[in-house]
Amino acid sequence: MQKLKDIIKIVLYHAGYYHFIRWQDSQRSDNKRLLILTYHNISDGSEFLLKEHPFKVRPVITAKQFEAHLRVLKQNFRVLSLKDAVSEIKENKGKEDLVAITFDDGYRSFYHLAFPLLKKYDLPATMFLPTDFINGKMVFWWDQLSQMLLFDNVQKVSRSILLPIIGEELAEKFFAIKTDLQKRINFLVELESYLIGLEDGLIEKKVRELKDIFCPNERIGLFDEALPLTWKQIKEFSKFNIEFGSHTCSHLNLKNTPKEKIEKEIVRSKEEIQTQTGNTVNYFAYPYGSDLQIYEKIEPILAQHHFICACLALPGINYKNTKPYLLRREFLSWTNSEPLTKRELILGFARGKRT
């Protein structure tokens, strides 16, 4: 069904339907707009060549799909650095819409897969770094979960032992699909959504409990697909159109965290990135990025420490009157199709959301 829908969209694209929408949209008299795209980890796509691949990270966009995005952006849109885009939006000069590219978390795949493509198309990007991850002091809990679900012992787990850890609904659902590798991968999304709503300490506790159940005798650590960038690589980016922003030190879940601890992590990460790169850090991305009430309380901290803007993980378009510490960001669909990518961008600007 999805393939049929995509074929219809591509036919409409080549028939000029979306070009007409873009022309109509260009006749508007409202404010200049900024679409900020966000990415995280990138895959070389080799896992799709195997019938049953030993996945160690949740599904991510492939380099081929990312390059399709960059081709469309280069040929059809005005792409600026986050710094220049935010400045131009604030001035609201002209009507031409802008796009900025951002990456969160500092995965090493950026160096090997994304960075060469950004250089190829001469496009800027901003990378938000959690410095404890870069320094090898932590492994993201979602990557630990991904690796846990690889082990065969998972298939022997009972629903009763999971129930006190992840609740009745998730325990029941996992028990029903645990023998199917692909369904286990899909289940990760639901499990992550549940854990994100908890305090950091409780997340860590539950992840430890799940490890004791899923793979009690195995070591969960850094693996190739989830390695961090090195400071040497990050310094190399500084010579090109790559900016850096803070993502706290430990990818801190700001919900229910004392302001003193939040400020300490923001300041420490900012200072270390500046020391390592020699560049001023004026940009921040909220870890998890979807709790507006909490983030509004943090704005004074960001202002005090001279951050120009901060990015959410909530979808939407940014305008002159968008609060600079509550900038919205979008994900593009993982597709190799340039018509589908361009269609998505056109509709995103025209309607302020993706459809």
| Per-residue confidence in pLDDT tens, the chain, 355 aa | 556 665 655 655 565 555 555 555 655 656 788 999 999 999 887 654 444 444 455 668 899 999 999 999 999 899 999 999 999 998 877 778 899 999 999 999 999 999 999 999 999 999 999 999 999 998 898 888 888 877 767 778 888 898 999 999 988 888 888 787 778 777 888 888 888 888 888 898 999 998 888 888 777 666 677 899 999 999 999 888 899 999 999 999 888 789 999 999 999 999 999 999 999 999 999 998 788 888 888 999 999 999 999 999 999 999 999 999 999 999 988 888 877 777 777 777 766 544 3
Q: Which CATH superfamily is domain 2-137+231-351 in?
A: Glycoside hydrolase/deacetylase (3.20.20.370)
The structure's pTM equals: 0.89
Going from N- to C-terminal start, the domains of the chain cover: 2-137+231-351, 141-214
Instruction: Outline where 96-220 has alpha helix (H).
Output: 109, 115-120, 131-134, 141-148, 159-177, 181-196, 200-214
Instruction: Outline where the chain has alpha helix (H).
Output: 2-14, 17-26, 63-76, 82-91, 109, 115-120, 131-134, 141-148, 159-177, 181-196, 200-214, 231-237, 259-277, 292-304, 338-351
